[in-house]
Structure 1
Amino acid sequence: MKATPKVLVGQRSPKSPWLAVNLSAALPGAGQLYDGAISRGILIAVAFWSLIAFILWSIFAPAGNTLRGLLTLVPLLSLYLVNLWDSHHAAKRGITLDQFSPLRYQSQDPWYPVFLSQVLPGLGHLFLQRVTVGGLLLLLGILTAYIANFHPALLPLPPLIWAAGCGLVYRAAPVQHRQWRLLATLLVAVIITRFALSSIPFIVPQEVVQCIVPSESMLPTLEVRDRIFVRPRPLDYNLSVGDIIVFSNPEITPSAQTGQLYNLMVKRVIALPGQRVEIRLGRVWINNIPQIETFIQEPIGYRWGPQTVPPGHLFVLGDNRNNSRDSHVWGFLPRPHVVGNAYKIYWPPHRVQPLP
């Protein structure tokens, strides 16, 4: 009968390095907390989520620098990998050399195949040479993750399959004393983390729409091929004069564009419902008051109006007034065509700036 390793008085109980890695893989810093390295675990967790917050702010906030946010992905990934290594290294300090052999420990520790199943469901079973179950889980995980990209209602399914793979491989691994509570904690973390990550591609488009400037009609404010972020706005949102908005082309029949974000245009709001618009003497006049527009480069070379903006419509013009197909050509813009406000140029790097 093999003797159980003794723990000396004042000596820390041995920890499982691969359990620590599993915890840190699901929630950075959690493995260090399990190892007893409380301060380091808290520091890693704070640093990790602070970097994520900085990246999101840099990319999506009007004043953020998009390129800097993207470059911050490198230290974020580096911190995540160091977090995995450190959690494993810290846990090994509680294991003496006569207890630990890397190859033997990996094959006997049930948390090692669990970690493989966190990478892809079924990998842990393949490591244990359970090819049939491993192959089915691997195929099921990849297939459901792919289908969920097109059917948001299925988003919870892949994280559940990932968690099921981890739980099943832990149960299949040869071990005498199982830590079911730690397994339950890990599986909850896996489900929450993976569901949150997989939801990002569906949440972001509801908050931010990306658009590429298609023409020179908004020079000098916007250049051709500028990439801009747009905040989607509900129909009852109160737009203001001077807002730069993105909308579907009103010259296309409404039935052809229902629910579709294509053939988008970007212009500036010049007048709201009830305001009287006239273009003469090279300037825009609103309710017989000449407008001061510092964002245009040359006087307007045509006359238009006067006309009153009807209810439920807007009068919009491009900043490049003499080279823009806008309300002075096709009339007032129906409010339902508006997608939202353009609030930031996020690419190319030298053009990143907030929009008024």
Structure 2
Amino acid sequence: MKLSFRSINHLDPWLAVNYSLVFPGLGQLYSAFWIKGISLVLITVVMIGYAAWSIFGANGQTMWGFWTIACFLLVYSFSILDAYRGTQPGYATRISVPQGRFDPWYAVFLSQLLPGLGHLYLQQALAGGIFLGTGLLTAWLANSIPQLIPIPPLIWALSCYHVYVSFPHRIRPKSDAIALLVVGLLVVRLSLSLTPGWIQQAVEQCIVPSDSMVPTLQVDDRLFVRRNQTYRPSTGDIVVFTPPAVALRDLPEKEKTKDLLYVKRVIGLPGQQITVREGRVYVDDRPLTETYTQATPAYEWGPETVPANSYFVLGDNRNNSYDSHIWGAVPDANILGAAYKIYWPPERVQPLE
């Protein structure tokens, strides 16, 4: 659907840009390019969903997720440029910065980029300095103080609203437009700010530090570990855990870091009897079928019963693994979760379930 020249003259190009800066396609919907606007919104939603699944899904290809993010940035840039062009007679090919006069929606656009920039553009130095300083300071502090995460988006939204309502030569106020824009800006930026925290609560990342899990895992494989407080390991699960105190006792001091994690395979559950003899692992006197080991164990162990609320774990590289056959079972409280995906390097991406 195209607009007439008469209707185009009533559209504000920088308001269209502001809408598309909040979310691709909104600027086109403002200009009544319905098919294009709805298409851009749907494409963006699908791309975000596909990128998230590709990166974090067990069967997703991580590189496809990164390529999808790159394509999203192209769509996002196109949407902003196209939103401006759609308000211009003849569909102007480039964005033109307001010259010779102040534009309230251009001030709002600058405040979306950084709080306070719009005020500085309007030569409101005091307000601009306050918004810019508090915005950057709280954004920096939020990296180490999670409770502050909602504050920067609020400052960004307030800066956009304030620069508009304080514009000195506004002829026709559009309170509904600025209200809609600020709400959209707040929702999107707040969601983006909270997303890393949501991901961290659901997924742990770790790097394989040794060859104890060869051939299943290689040194420097990067893993995603599913966090779940109700998770109870099953035999064969690959789990990531903080080493128990007894495992740390014989380690060199330089290796005893607070973020030290181990990754092993669950062999015995609480109450099961584990025996290692003649190159085989036995669980309750039944030989365990294993197709994932590097070599048969060259040691004897047990029989011993796995304590309650603990798990017996071994590395797949049985003869080069610092695991339960040396220091005992892992308490349930130490287990972070099950490793479910190698997400990097690209040639190693695969599910572990």
Q: Deviations over 1:135-179 (max 9, x none)?
A: 121111101111112222222211111111111111222221010
Partner of 2:67: 71
Say if 1:14 and 1:94, in contact at 8 Å, map to a contact too: no
Matches within 5 A, 1:1-12: 11=7
Q: Residue 141 in 1 paired to residue 135 in 2?
A: yes
Letter in 2 for 1:142: L
Counterpart secondary structure, 2:152: helix
Alpha-carbon distance in 2 for matches of 1:18, 1:326: 62
Say if 1:24 and 1:30, in contact at 8 Å, map to a contact too: yes
Q: TM-score, normalised by structure 1?
A: 0.90
Alpha-carbon distance in 2 for matches of 1:24, 1:106: 25
Letter in 2 for 1:123: L
Which of 106, 112, 117 is the equivalent residue of 1:118? 112
Partner of 1:199: 194
Partner of 1:92: 88
Partner of 1:175: 170
User: How far 1:105 sits from its partner (Å)?
Assistant: 6.4
Q: Residue 274 in 1 paired to residue 271 in 2?
A: yes
Counterpart secondary structure, 1:115: helix
Q: Deviations over 1:309-350 (max 9, x none)?
A: 121111100000011111100011111111110000011111
Say if 1:15 and 1:95, in contact at 8 Å, map to a contact too: no
Matches within 5 A, 1:152-171: 152-171=146-165
Counterpart secondary structure, 2:293: coil
Partner of 2:223: 228
Q: TM-score, normalised by structure 2?
A: 0.91
Change (3 A) 1:299 1:170: same
Say if 1:123 and 1:134, in contact at 8 Å, map to a contact too: yes
User: How far 1:69 sits from its partner (Å)?
Assistant: 1.0
Alpha-carbon distance in 2 for matches of 1:183, 1:40: 23
Query: How many corresponding residue pairs?
Result: 339
Which of 306, 313, 316 is the equivalent residue of 1:319? 316
Alpha-carbon distance in 1 for matches of 2:306, 2:96: 76
Say if 2:107 and 2:119, in contact at 8 Å, map to a contact too: yes
Matches within 5 A, 1:26-41: 26-41=22-37
Alpha-carbon distance in 1 for matches of 2:100, 2:203: 45
Letter in 2 for 1:160: L
User: How far 1:237 sits from its partner (Å)?
Assistant: 2.5
Change (3 A) 1:17 1:60: same
Matches within 5 A, 1:48-59: 48-59=44-55
Counterpart secondary structure, 2:294: coil
Structure 1 unmatched runs, 5+: 1-7, 254-259
Alpha-carbon distance in 1 for matches of 2:148, 2:166: 28
Say if 1:12 and 1:94, in contact at 8 Å, map to a contact too: no
Say if 2:271 and 2:308, in contact at 8 Å, map to a contact too: yes
Counterpart secondary structure, 1:28: coil
Partner of 2:239: 245
Say if 1:108 and 1:175, in contact at 8 Å, map to a contact too: no
Say if 2:8 and 2:88, in contact at 8 Å, map to a contact too: no
Say if 1:313 and 1:332, in contact at 8 Å, map to a contact too: yes
Letter in 2 for 1:343: Y
Say if 1:283 and 1:291, in contact at 8 Å, map to a contact too: yes
Alpha-carbon distance in 2 for matches of 1:106, 1:272: 76
Say if 1:55 and 1:70, in contact at 8 Å, map to a contact too: yes
Alpha-carbon distance in 2 for matches of 1:350, 1:276: 39
Which of 325, 331, 339 is the equivalent residue of 1:328? 325
Alpha-carbon distance in 2 for matches of 1:204, 1:261: 21
Alpha-carbon distance in 1 for matches of 2:183, 2:27: 15
Alpha-carbon distance in 2 for matches of 1:77, 1:9: 31
User: How far 1:71 sits from its partner (Å)?
Assistant: 2.1
User: How far 1:195 sits from its partner (Å)?
Assistant: 0.6
Q: Residue 353 in 1 paired to residue 350 in 2?
A: yes
Counterpart secondary structure, 1:215: coil
Change (3 A) 1:246 1:56: same
Counterpart secondary structure, 2:248: coil
Q: Deviations over 1:63-103 (max 9, x none)?
A: 1111221122211111101000111111223999xxxx955
Structure 2 unmatched runs, 5+: 250-256
Letter in 1 for 2:335: V
Alpha-carbon distance in 2 for matches of 1:106, 1:279: 84
User: How far 1:297 sits from its partner (Å)?
Assistant: 2.7
